[in-house]
């Protein structure tokens, strides 16, 4: 049976697995999952967090892109190039694990945040959360956002330039300034 990779063709995590499959020349079939359907029951049955990708190897289901990549290397050690060093070479393995840890802990979280902030967030949301016009979705963030700021949290101003820009815009509006400290008795 050909391996089945369930994921979205533009998903970063799906691409992590696909590049390993290609590098090792492992035949597979991509079963494309629309992002809008990720939380559907058929995905939850295979992936308890409702995320992609996951791999089906003749009924053996594995999720998490890095776990899948390591599984593929272990299952197909003689197919394509060796992507993980031999455990018998302790120093080389230690350096590999160090590099893998750096990628996971120090590169990926920051790169994903930067990519989301620079590319995905503006495309998905535009100027405001639901597009180019302010909506209730924006206004409903104000009360807790202000409470966080009053409590000393910089969560909304430090989440990245697009979030900071959005927060500054919505929280400085006259309608919010009129009610943020005390709701007037009448209008």
* Span 167-180, pLDDT tens digits: 899 899 988 888 87
**How high is the pLDDT of residue 186?**
56
**How high is the pLDDT of residue 26?**
95
Q: How far apart are CA 32 and CA 120, in angstroms?
A: 20
CB atoms under 10 Å from CB of 5, counted, come to 22
- Mean pLDDT highest for which of 6-15, 54-63, 120-129, 150-159? 54-63
> CA-based angle 58:63:69, to the nearest 5?
85
**How high is the pLDDT of residue 30?**
94
> CA-based angle 93:94:95, to the nearest 5?
90
**How high is the pLDDT of residue 119?**
61
pLDDT by residue (tens digit) across 69-108? 999 999 999 999 999 999 999 999 999 899 888 898 888 8
**How high is the pLDDT of residue 120?**
60
The confidence band for 166, taking pLDDT boundaries of 50, 70 and 90, is confident
Which backbone phi and psi does 75 adopt, to 5 degrees? -75, -35
CATH code of the domain made up of 4-87: 3.40.30.10
**How high is the pLDDT of residue 124?**
56
**How high is the pLDDT of residue 11?**
86
Contact of 99 with 106, CB cutoff 8 Å: no
pLDDT by residue (tens digit) across 107-152? 888 777 776 766 666 655 678 777 788 878 788 888 888 888 888 8
Q: How much is the mean pLDDT over the chain? A: 85
**How high is the pLDDT of residue 57?**
97
* pTM > 0.75: no
The confidence band for 29, taking pLDDT boundaries of 50, 70 and 90, is very high
Structure tokens at 77: 């050690």
In this predicted structure, the answer to whether residue 43 has a pLDDT above a threshold of 90 is no
More confident residue, 68 or 132: 68
**How high is the pLDDT of residue 63?**
93
Domain boundaries for CATH 3.40.30.10 within the chain: 4-87
């Amino acid at each position: 049976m050909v391996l089945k990779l369930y994921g979205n063709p533009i998903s970063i995590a799906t691409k992590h697995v696909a590049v390993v499959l290609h590098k090792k020349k492992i035949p597979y079939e991509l079963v494309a999952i629309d992002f809008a359907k990720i939380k559907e029951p058929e995905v939850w049955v295979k992936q308890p967090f409702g995320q992609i990708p996951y791999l089906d190897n003749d009924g053996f289901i594995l999720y998490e892109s890095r776990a899948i990549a390591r599984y593929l290397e272990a299952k197909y050690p003689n197919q394509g190039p060796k992507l993980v060093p031999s455990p018998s070479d302790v120093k080389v393995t230690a350096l590999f694990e160090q590099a893998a840890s750096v990628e996971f802990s120090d590169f990926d979280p920051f790169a994903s945040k930067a990519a989301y902030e620079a590319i995905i967030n503006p495309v998905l949301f535009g100027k405001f959360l639901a597009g180019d016009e302010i909506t209730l979705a924006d206004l409903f963030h104000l009360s807790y956002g202000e409470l966080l700021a009053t409590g000393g949290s910089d969560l909304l101003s430090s989440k990245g330039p697009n979030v900071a820009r959005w927060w500054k815009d919505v929280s400085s509006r006259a309608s919010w300034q009129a009610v943020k400290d005390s709701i007037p008795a009448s209008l």
